[in-house]
Chain A
Amino acid sequence: MIYPIKSYQKTFIVLSISLVLIFILNVSLGSVFIPFKQTLLALLNENTQNDAWKTIILNYRLPKAITAILVGSGLSISGLLMQTLFRNPLAGPFVLGISSGASLGVAILILGASFIGVNNTAFAYTNWGLAIAASLGAFLVLSAVLLAAIKVRNTMSILIIGLMFGSLTAAVISVLAYFSSASQLQQYLFWSFGSLGNLTWHEITTFFVIFLIGLLLVVFIIKPLNSLLLGENYAKSLGVNIKLTRNITLIATSLLTGVITAFSGPIAFIGLAVPHLTKLLFKTSNHKTLIPAVAISGAIIMLICDSIAQLPNSEYTLPINAITSLFGAPIIIWLLIRKRKIY
């Protein structure tokens, strides 16, 4: 008898179809009403009744939808990696201090201006300005956490060190905020809300390339991550190089969350919650199934959140961070109460 090593083909097909449908729906919704048929025509690069519609779809909504997919899947994969590595269901993609570092970078760029008396508002408003500040900040704090990680043997300590760095940067940001003007504060606040829009195709290409490098690293640690499900000592007895696995996991997570935070701000909730939702759906711990599964689920959930955030046919766009938590948190609570076991 051959044991059916359960394949999740059907679930994957359903999820993939949902992803395509939600993607099209997401692109068809927005502040300007565009008939559904015209949306499809624009996506197929055909001429639309109104030239402006095609421009809106191809240069505004399509990049935003692609960003949502990259952000959703990248954060979800990172969250899964951290939860397995730290054997802690509360771990998320930002435990390594990436979001606190990025926040610090942006806070220094926007709020710190008054300290040095330079008017850098023009630069701070550009995507690249924010992305560079966020990357630098994330890189510095992450390096500090990773340096500490090399020193400590205990994987759990890295988790706590990451949290401590988070507290430190939050404190520095508070001090900066205290001395800032209302308009600067508002600008910083807007960044911290997260944003999927406004990326040019050029920026998306950069985003995508770094994302792919991170993803490639993840593929190589699927096998050792599975053995880590038994704990570090068993994994070691199976011939796994624990240190190497740990370092590749940390680097992959840094690349994915780093590039996401640089371009879209600190997007909350997704990285923590999507792995749990996916595990409820797939009921497996095997990373060969889970990694593609969380990637697709994360993309779907991010697209849904974005569709809600842009409030169809209105001029307002709600902060994406508010939506992810506002709609996501109750779902997780409800699922936990209903299902109890969550790994």
Chain B
Amino acid sequence: MKNTQNHIIKTTNLSIGYTSKKHQKIIASNLNITLEEGNLVCLLGENGIGKSTLLRTLTKVQPAINGTIFINQINLNEISNLNLSKQLSVVLTEKLPESSLTVFELVALGRQPYTNWVGQLNAKDIEIVEMALKETNTKQLAQAKYYQLSDGQLQKVLIARALAQNTAIIVLDEPTAHLDIHHTIETFTLLKKLAKEFGKTILISTHEINLALQLADQLWLMTPQKFVTGKTNDLIENNQLNTLFNSDLIHFNKKLKQFTILNS
């Protein structure tokens, strides 16, 4: 394992939110987050708390309101889109537009930051695409059109695309939102494998708390009052998880390491 002091993502006094001409809507402020290389990190928080906004800000889709984000010690604002695309890849929740791309072509689009001006794949690109298909167990789907896939297969293919982009960081926004429990677990174990075997730094926003508790190296907890980060076990010990939901209905059971329904 590499030097644990190597913060691949670091933010200082980060404020996130939306600005329009008249209003400024701040969703979270004063965030000082660090993310270590090779870790699988799960971002947890209730609906509408701003998980997607945070991910969009960290991936330069939308600007920060205040503060600075560093990727590999370099200010995100000073990294060109092309340069960033070689360090950070994404798996988004949005639906893909209709097209007749095959799985192979879709994954191969992940090579775009490296290909020439017409996007010609060379032998090395093809090798990497094949590796990505193999590691995500989607090789047999290579010639299928992507619209023929099930949700579970498509998610794996989208992860393969991110893998083919060959970046140190992969950011996924609710990758298991439409999946059954089998495919959810499959996706999470795949991501864990990518972190462990390939040293990828993986940041996931998710509602799969129980899986996150079992697999994540680190958790980011987002609540209206505060933003807490830490190793999974430490957070459990410090009773931090109980503050995640402002609810009388559930509480966190330390022994079972999961949320249970409170009997009134």
Tell me the A residues contacting B by CB distance below 8 Å: 1-3, 5, 87, 89, 219-220, 222-223, 226-227, 229-231, 233-234, 236-241, 279, 283-286, 288, 341, 343
B118 touches A288 (CB 8 A): yes
CB of B135 within 8 Å of the partner chain: no
Contact bitstring B64-108, A, C-beta under 8 A = 1, else 0: 000000000000000011111110111010101111110011100
A233 touches B61 (CB 8 A): yes
CB distance from B116 to the nearest CB of A (A): 8
CB of B235 within 8 Å of the partner chain: no
In the complex, what residue of chain B is closest to A87 when comparing beta carbons? Answer: B97
CB of B57 within 8 Å of the partner chain: no
B119 touches A222 (CB 8 A): yes
| 4 additional A-B residue pairs with CB within 8 Å, beyond A237-B61, A238-B110 | A3-B142, A231-B94, A236-B61, A239-B83
Top 8 A-B pairs ranked by shortest CB distance? A239-B85, A239-B82, A285-B99, A223-B119, A87-B97, A238-B112, A229-B99, A237-B90
A230 touches B61 (CB 8 A): no
In the complex, what residue of chain A is closest to B142 when comparing beta carbons? Answer: A3
Instruction: Please report whether the interface of chain B is mostly helix, strand, loop or mixed according to DSSP.
Output: loop
Instruction: Please report whether the interface of chain A is mostly helix, strand, loop or mixed according to DSSP.
Output: loop
CB of B143 within 8 Å of the partner chain: yes
Which residues in A have their C-beta under 8 angstroms from that of B121?
5
Provide the bound-state CA to CA distance between A173 and B205, in Å.
Answer: 55
Pick the residue among B59, B86, B96, B142 that contacts A230 (CB under 8 A).
Answer: B96
Provide the bound-state CA to CA distance between A288 and B100, in Å.
Answer: 14
B98 touches A343 (CB 8 A): yes
* Residue among A229, A231, A279 having the largest count of chain B Cβ atoms under 10 Å: A229
A227 touches B100 (CB 8 A): no
A233 touches B92 (CB 8 A): yes
In the complex, what residue of chain A is closest to B92 when comparing beta carbons? Answer: A233
Which residues in A have their C-beta under 8 angstroms from that of B89?
237
Provide the bound-state CA to CA distance between A284 and B100, in Å.
Answer: 6
CB distance from A87 to the nearest CB of B (A): 4
B109 touches A227 (CB 8 A): yes
**A1-B130, A284-B100 are contacts. A229–B85 as well, Cβ < 8 Å?**
no
Which residues in A have their C-beta under 8 angstroms from that of B165?
238
A239 touches B92 (CB 8 A): no
Provide the bound-state CA to CA distance between A89 and B99, in Å.
Answer: 10
CB of B190 within 8 Å of the partner chain: no
A230 touches B119 (CB 8 A): no
CB distance from B203 to the nearest CB of A (A): 14
Provide the bound-state CA to CA distance between A342 and B114, in Å.
Answer: 31
CB of B113 within 8 Å of the partner chain: yes
A286 touches B105 (CB 8 A): yes
In the complex, what residue of chain B is closest to A86 when comparing beta carbons? Answer: B97
A233 touches B85 (CB 8 A): no
B126 touches A222 (CB 8 A): no
Which residues in B have their C-beta under 8 angstroms from that of A231?
92, 94, 96-97
B112 touches A239 (CB 8 A): yes
CB distance from A247 to the nearest CB of B (A): 16
Which residues in A have their C-beta under 8 angstroms from that of B112?
223, 226-227, 238-240
Which residues in B have their C-beta under 8 angstroms from that of A1?
130
B81 touches A239 (CB 8 A): yes
Provide the bound-state CA to CA distance between A3 and B121, in Å.
Answer: 12
What are 7 A-B pairs with beta-carbon distances under 8 A? A1-B130, A223-B119, A226-B112, A229-B97, A231-B96, A233-B61, A234-B96
Provide the bound-state CA to CA distance between A240 and B165, in Å.
Answer: 14
Which residues in A have their C-beta under 8 angstroms from that of B118?
219, 222-223, 288
In the complex, what residue of chain A is closest to B117 when comparing beta carbons? Answer: A223
In the complex, what residue of chain A is closest to B56 when comparing beta carbons? Answer: A233
A285 touches B85 (CB 8 A): no
CB of B239 within 8 Å of the partner chain: no
Provide the bound-state CA to CA distance between A284 and B191, in Å.
Answer: 30
Provide the bound-state CA to CA distance between A1 and B126, in Å.
Answer: 10
Which residues in A have their C-beta under 8 angstroms from that of B113?
238-239
Which residues in B have their C-beta under 8 angstroms from that of A240?
81, 112
**A226-B119, A227-B112, A285-B101 are contacts. A3–B96 as well, Cβ < 8 Å?**
no
Which residues in B have their C-beta under 8 angstroms from that of A219?
118
B104 touches A3 (CB 8 A): yes
Pick the residue among B81, B94, B96, B99 that contacts A241 (CB under 8 A).
Answer: B81
CB of B115 within 8 Å of the partner chain: yes
In the complex, what residue of chain B is closest to A241 when comparing beta carbons? Answer: B81
CB distance from B202 to the nearest CB of A (A): 15
Which residues in B have their C-beta under 8 angstroms from that of A222?
118-119
In the complex, what residue of chain A is closest to B162 when comparing beta carbons? Answer: A237
Which residues in B have their C-beta under 8 angstroms from that of A285?
99-101, 105
B59 touches A237 (CB 8 A): yes
A283 touches B119 (CB 8 A): no
CB distance from A254 to the nearest CB of B (A): 23
A230 touches B81 (CB 8 A): no
* Residue among A234, A283, A284, A341 having the largest count of chain B Cβ atoms under 10 Å: A234
A343 touches B100 (CB 8 A): yes
Provide the bound-state CA to CA distance between A5 and B106, in Å.
Answer: 12
